[in-house]
Structure 1
Amino acid sequence: MRKKKWLNTSLAVITAVSLLLAGCSSNNNDGGSKTNTNANDSTDGNAVDNTDPVTFSYFGFGTNIDVMASETTIGKILQEQTGVDWKMEYVVGDPSTKAGVMIAGGEYPDVISPVGELSKLLNAGAYIPLNDLIEKHGPNIKRVYGEYMDKITHEDGNIYILPFTANVGGYLNDPDAGSNIWIQRRVLKEFGYPEVKTLDQYFDLIVKYQEKYPSVDGKETVGFVTFAGEQGQFYTITNAPMHLAGYPNDGNVLVDMETHEAKLYMATEHEKRWLKKLNEMNAKGLVDPETFTANGDQFKAKLTSGRVLGFVGYIWQMADAMNNLKTAGNDDLRYVSLPIVFDESITDAYMDPPSFVNNRGLGISVSAKDPVRIIKYWDNLLKEENQRLVQWGEEGVTYSVNEEGRFIMSAEQLANRNDNEFKRKYGWAYFDYEWPRYGDNSVYEDGNAHLPARQPEVANVNYTDGDRELLNAYGIETFSGFFAQPVERPWYPAWSIEKEQGSPEQIFNQKAGDLQQKFYPKLVFATEAQFESVWNDYLAEFGKLDAAGFEKFMTDKVKARIAGVW
């Protein structure tokens, strides 16, 4: 029998605290033997730290452009505080292949943000335990992560990564939270800003608009596209049935609010209904023929062209395109996400409830030259003034404080916050997420929002005349006003439940995902007469997988989280 991945709440807390207080790890490779034992080893948190210049290596399995941290404004300020610089590199090509190369070579960057490769790197012994380091050198780490210790402690009693979602000081919803189903604003404007709630209503509008305007300004309109052609982003189209059925992003399962049973929506009527609708729209010529082949750049280029009437995708996947459209200045060609569901009786659940994701974070590798110096850098980063720096920047430069003590941004400052080139140069593109940090919904001690986007005063400045026209038409103040308020789910998000590499659950996920990628294009592009036959072929192939075993695994994990076992 496989051992449990996470300790139960009481045992985890006791183990973590006892380890921290004892100042020792259950693993001899605690980083202490690799560090200098001079002033850098002080434990009182107040001694003058060593600020001699040093450069560490950072590797992220997300997408970004390589940089020296000191070449950015934020990185330079942090270097002046600590003496530490970072050579920051990011994955190119297949992340799994890169992780395998690292493991095979046995040499790692000093710190690694593994994204989806965490379990593989953990099983390979790529990370050192952080317990002892946190106790000796991490007062701010303990302040930020203290209530989450049970959720980040591994089965062996060690902490290996610091996640990115530790909520501090309260919980603020995003005033502009949205869904993953979008429509071009000119479509809504053309028909007098109607209420659009169901999938049928959504596509009916797009059909009517395209029939009326098959081309605009000499450009042929494109009815509907998806982000399914980009490597690793197929979940964009497969997640839709979950949302349409009235569930939040729990991955590939729907969790019943009363029984807490986790059921797959793969190969169910929910998935069939979604794909059948796309098939019908394809028969009408609405679905882009490249919807399963266009890469991310091509997809975003389509959006930026203004030709697309509707699409499915998450905001973080196409923020560049959205910003480019806003900069172009024609609000009618921009998009708005809507609370689309299957039926009027369904309450949407697009807005995220309070959550904690424990399988995305930053860890120190066994190859790290000086773990103490690194952990002190992280602890310094978690001071509230530095959390303000990595989100808001410098007072008087990138934001201001009004007479009421509220953080505000001018239109020009906000434009910089949204400009990719400025974000890279200033450092927001590198420091505002994949580091130990406050969670997005956090609130500072003075009541200001941790994220500028959560600050109502900033959201208001960000609105154009077209934004206000649309909001006024629907009688709401912010775009989150379209959506139902989130309902608390103690397990959320279920997608963060770890499936160990090579486990039955991980193998099921891989095989089921492969089937979806094989059959989705066939189902969408089949003739209407062929659809049922192709669907039955899909069900037959899916039936060979152990769906019941996966559902039991997820149900057990969800119920364990509710009981406090992470």
Structure 2
Amino acid sequence: MLKSKIKFTTLVVTVSLIGSMLAGCSIGKSAKSSDTTNSKSGKTVTIKFFDKNTGDAFTDDVAKEITKQTGVKVEIQQPTGDPLEKLNLMLASGDYPDMVLMDRGNSIVNKYISAGALIPLDDLISKYGSDVKQMYGDTLKKIRYKDGKNYYLSNWYGKDPDVVNGFVMRQDILKKLAGDKATNGQYFTQDEFVKLLKDFKAKYPKINGKTTLPITLYAEDQNGVIGTFKGMFGLKSYYNVNGELKYDIRDPKYLEMLKFMNSLYTQGLLDKEWVVNKKQLWLEKLSNGYTFSTPTAYWNVSDANVALAKDSGNDAQMYAYKVVANGVDPSKTTYSGRSSLGWDAIGITKNCKNPDAAMKFMNFLTSEKGQYLMMWGVEGKTWNMVDGKHKPTDKILTDFTNNFNATAKKTGVRHWTWFIKNGLGSDGTPYDMATKYKKDKAQVVANKNLTNTYWDTSEYDNLIPASGTPEALIYQKVTDIFNKAFPKIVDAPSQAKAVALYNKMISDMDSAGLAKVEKVINTNYKERIKLWK
């Protein structure tokens, strides 16, 4: 799962290219492919694959079974250094492998398509992609390029009903302050939440010798901080006015959100040092037990929960709750925005000498059989069919609980995550066995408390100006203006000052050319909606 964090300051990453990428699907008895036998034809096939997420050798039990089922051996290209930098350098040189996996939300995908580096998949899907068509359904239409063709298949696609952000609170203290409401799945109103923070501060002025913090923020996690508060107010990616998109900051509810955040600061409820909270400091404030709440994705506090459970018992762990802003319909909150179109884009490049073999390989992995193989492992080793349902072994579940990454790497289960579909298989078991079959308490509690918070972000994803355009420079300027103004608005000494700073931010962004950015966003939006019809 997953999930990238946007900092309040712009990062500039400079990485040098190390090594070079080999290209071409090999068929026949070449030195590189002679050890791989196609399961049906007897031909040998090696596919070179750049996966930004891994550089491991394709040799575990799952990899061997994939080769057995498809007759394809995958040669993983090592993404030494920064994967995006390497993808750009490969594109510039034309030296890329048979298949590539890229961040679907990044402009690199369109660069590869417009440069002709990715081949259209439509004819291949028609010939060999029966499982692709069945599993992806309407998603295929939604991931088409502007010319109406499919150049990639998405990864981690489909609706994922598990929640994301919430107001994470220490449960043992919440039980004392809110009684049964701490465990019965009810939401808290805005006023109830503020009362909880005030009651906590009054009842627990110090814990473990430290002055307590009713609420703190992880400054570098803009998605967690702003995403949680936006969720509370039912805000989405853009302010949609009769089909015309404007920046979310123009929504009157956005100002109400900022005023609420500022009120937490002026009332002494918000950590005064939140702006300097990097991850380690933030986790330290949670782990030491003197912080009551924080807005974030429920999984981000797992390390803190380990420490809290060790020091104060299991009941002291922090769990996610839903807070509803005044005047907002509880069923219209937007804490759990996820794109149904997936995280990654996987395509076949023009350098591939055997695109037919590549598509057959893709079709198998896309199929339900392929999904269960990648995500559950080999039948008889890590799972068995019991009463018509997939059932993981106790050992694999225990191993994932004890050491997730090491287990994936050793067994191959959930190690090769390609063309993954969210949701359940035909027997009702989740494709993602490692994280969805036996959910931990934090996940169970979050899903119980944050009902009716999911919304599909795909309609609004990746509408910003293309890199290299004049509007892209303006977009960066207005982003910088927001990043600098946001903490000042939250930490303003009064609501009047917060509103004045907000108005100045809007004025500065307008002067920088925000309207031009919004024009591009709307053009892209209208083209997308037309393409999806």
TM-score (normalised: structure 1): 0.71
- Which structure shows the higher strand fraction? 2
Alignment match, 1:342: 325
Count of residue correspondences: 490
SS at match of 2:324: coil
1:34-53 matches, within 5 Å, as 35=25, 47-48=40-41, 50-51=43-44
Q: 2:263 aligns with which of 257, 274, 280?
A: 280
CA RMSD of aligned residues (A): 4.2
Deviations 1:156-179 (A, max 9, x none): 343211012554xxx7844xx353
Q: 2:505 aligns with which of 521, 538, 549?
A: 538
Q: 2:118 aligns with which of 121, 127, 136?
A: 127
The CA distance in 2 between the partners of 1:387 and 1:216, in whole Å, is: 48
The CA distance in 2 between the partners of 1:91 and 1:296, in whole Å, is: 25
2:140 is equivalent to residue 149 of structure 1? yes
Deviations 1:316-360 (A, max 9, x none): 6x2753784698594333222222232154223337699632784
Partner AA of 1:281 in structure 2? L
1:448-463 matches, within 5 Å, as 448-452=429-433, 458-459=438-439, 462-463=440-441
Alignment match, 1:108: 96
Per the alignment, do residues 100 and 454 of structure 1 end up closer, same or farther by CA in structure 2, a change over 3 Å counting? closer
- Bigger drift between 208-217 and 365-374 goes to 365-374
Does the Cα contact within 8 Å between 1:73 and 1:427 map onto a contact in 2?
Answer: yes
SS at match of 1:544: helix
SS at match of 2:501: helix
Does the Cα contact within 8 Å between 1:172 and 1:454 map onto a contact in 2?
Answer: no
SS at match of 2:361: helix
- Deviation, 1:556, is 6.2
The CA distance in 2 between the partners of 1:281 and 1:408, in whole Å, is: 48
Per the alignment, do residues 499 and 548 of structure 1 end up closer, same or farther by CA in structure 2, a change over 3 Å counting? closer
- Deviation, 1:211, is 3.5
- Deviation, 1:301, is 5.3
Q: 1:527 aligns with which of 487, 493, 497?
A: 493
2:39 is equivalent to residue 56 of structure 1? no
- Deviation, 1:411, is 6.9
2:397 is equivalent to residue 420 of structure 1? no
The CA distance in 2 between the partners of 1:112 and 1:198, in whole Å, is: 43
Q: 1:118 aligns with which of 91, 109, 113?
A: 109
Per the alignment, do residues 104 and 452 of structure 1 end up closer, same or farther by CA in structure 2, a change over 3 Å counting? same
Deviations 1:94-147 (A, max 9, x none): x76555444444433541323423234434444233334434443332332354
Does the Cα contact within 8 Å between 2:67 and 2:73 map onto a contact in 1?
Answer: yes
2:74 is equivalent to residue 85 of structure 1? yes
The CA distance in 2 between the partners of 1:131 and 1:221, in whole Å, is: 59
Identity of aligned residues (%): 22
Alignment match, 1:511: 477
2:267 is equivalent to residue 242 of structure 1? no
Q: 1:444 aligns with which of 413, 425, 429?
A: 425
The CA distance in 2 between the partners of 1:352 and 1:38, in whole Å, is: 49
1:269-348 matches, within 5 Å, as 269-288=252-271, 291-296=274-279, 299-300=282-283, 302-315=285-298, 318=300, 321=303, 324=306, 330-343=313-326, 345-347=328-330, 348=332
Per the alignment, do residues 58 and 333 of structure 1 end up closer, same or farther by CA in structure 2, a change over 3 Å counting? farther
Partner AA of 1:426 in structure 2? T
1:381-420 matches, within 5 Å, as 381-395=365-379, 397-399=381-383, 401-403=385-387, 405-408=388-391, 413-418=396-401, 419-420=403-404
TM-score (normalised: structure 2): 0.75
Does the Cα contact within 8 Å between 1:420 and 1:429 map onto a contact in 2?
Answer: no
Per the alignment, do residues 273 and 155 of structure 1 end up closer, same or farther by CA in structure 2, a change over 3 Å counting? closer
The CA distance in 1 between the partners of 2:200 and 2:392, in whole Å, is: 37
Q: 2:466 aligns with which of 470, 479, 500?
A: 500
The CA distance in 1 between the partners of 2:26 and 2:81, in whole Å, is: 34
Per the alignment, do residues 124 and 284 of structure 1 end up closer, same or farther by CA in structure 2, a change over 3 Å counting? farther
Partner AA of 2:488 in structure 1? K
Alignment match, 1:363: 347
1:200-239 matches, within 5 Å, as 200-218=191-209, 221-229=212-220, 233-239=221-227
Partner AA of 1:361 in structure 2? A
2:148 is equivalent to residue 162 of structure 1? no
- Bigger drift between 214-223 and 113-122 goes to 214-223
2:58 is equivalent to residue 69 of structure 1? yes
Does the Cα contact within 8 Å between 2:172 and 2:316 map onto a contact in 1?
Answer: yes
2:165 is equivalent to residue 183 of structure 1? no
- Bigger drift between 318-327 and 276-285 goes to 318-327
Deviations 1:397-440 (A, max 9, x none): 5445544x3445577644434543323433455433xx2232x1
The CA distance in 2 between the partners of 1:164 and 1:91, in whole Å, is: 22
Partner AA of 1:342 in structure 2? A
SS at match of 1:236: helix
The CA distance in 2 between the partners of 1:424 and 1:220, in whole Å, is: 43
The CA distance in 2 between the partners of 1:306 and 1:369, in whole Å, is: 59
